[in-house]
A = this chain, B = another copy of it.
């Protein structure tokens, strides 16, 4: 018997009751029955985003929502600033370039977080900047970026939008969309939202909606003007991902039953425990300002990360994530995302310890587990 554990930063485990909700027979979407579900989840999403604005649902993965953010508010020839601090920063850059937007980047070493002062200086030098695009949590490096501080810098500027990829930060780190002054936030279903992939979310501020009126980039499937009108009537412009939206209803019930604050604490505690465990073994963390979505760390040089991650998944049953691009084979990422609690963290750490020993690396078994337990014990019960 090989039990499977999914401890990678997306897709994440889906709770049994969400799976079962999604396994219920399909209902038609142009019905009062589905409209009631839609209205309920639309309302719940506002609570997660801390906003009075509509959080629109799109049939597509997170990248679809990222593209929607760009093509609905910007224009070819606009100048934007992309914080390029990992694979998903590069994605912001690539999306913008695809649509002939002039991209300046602040390039950070992978694992580093941008400093608000860097953004501030840039905006002083280039006040014509139409948007600053950032990852709340850069999944490839497990770094958290100072979303709140940067939002507050940009909030007073009528001609600049702050666009946040919250794919692994919303539902992990509290995000106060309205209060902080975020202009666009996007996220997807398969991370903190504990659902399979295929549904994404996007929220626009009043300021961003004004940009939408000025934007000329042709768009059809991802046209947010049409979605705004449709979703105000508890439906979507095109066929919605019915089963995911039904599952989302259960997810949001779970969020509110646990309490959103406790959801954030849970991610924080599991993140902290994992970091303590890794540091107990002397492993170097990748992120200087770690995200609570996942923890990346450098594997011992003697370990081939690609082979090790594959071995852990196929022989031990534990799926972590390896590194991407230039960090491929060098780092590993352990997720704390979504339907993940104390004993998932213990499993992840203890499996790592045993796996490394099996791979010939000399370490003290249980040392990381103990360090994690020390933190987790105050959290359970």
Interface residues of A (CB under 8 A from B): 4, 6, 8, 10-14, 19-20, 22-29, 31-32, 59-64, 66-67, 94-95, 98-100, 188, 190, 196-199, 217-222, 238-244, 313-314, 319
Contact = CB atoms under 8 A, between A and B. Distances in A.
Contact of A23 (B4, B23, B222, B238): B23
A61 B59 contact: yes
B59 A60 contact: yes
Contact of A11 (B66, B196, B239): B239
A222 B379 CA distance: 44
Main SS of the interface on chain A? loop
Q: Which of A4, A100, A217 has the most CB of B within 10 A?
A: A4
Given A8-B28, A19-B24, A243-B243, 18 more contacts: A4-B25, A6-B28, A11-B242, A20-B23, A22-B22, A23-B23, A60-B64, A60-B221, A61-B238, A61-B239, A61-B241, A62-B238, A63-B238, A98-B219, A100-B218, A196-B242, A197-B242, A221-B222
Nearest to A222: B221
Q: How many copies does the complex hold?
A: 2
B14 A25 contact: yes
Nearest to A196: B243
Q: Which of A11, A31, A94, A98 has the most CB of B within 10 A?
A: A11
A95 B237 CA distance: 14
B26 A12 contact: yes
B31 A319 contact: yes
Q: Which of A8, A19, A24, A99 has the most CB of B within 10 A?
A: A19
Nearest to A319: B28
Nearest to A96: B220
A60 B10 CA distance: 19
B28 A218 contact: no
Contact of A64 (B28, B59, B188, B319): B59
A280 B242 CA distance: 36
Contacts of A217: 218
Contacts of A67: 220-221
Contacts of A218: 98-100, 217
Nearest to A64: B221
Contacts of A66: 221
A198 B244 contact: yes
A64 B27 CA distance: 22
A196 B26 contact: yes
A243 to B, nearest CB: 4
Q: Which of A63, A94, A241 has the most CB of B within 10 A?
A: A241
A26 B8 contact: no
A59 B222 CA distance: 13
Nearest to A11: B26
A196 B241 contact: yes
A100 B13 CA distance: 43
Nearest to A322: B30
Contacts of A196: 22, 26, 241-244
A141 B228 CA distance: 28
A112 B26 CA distance: 31
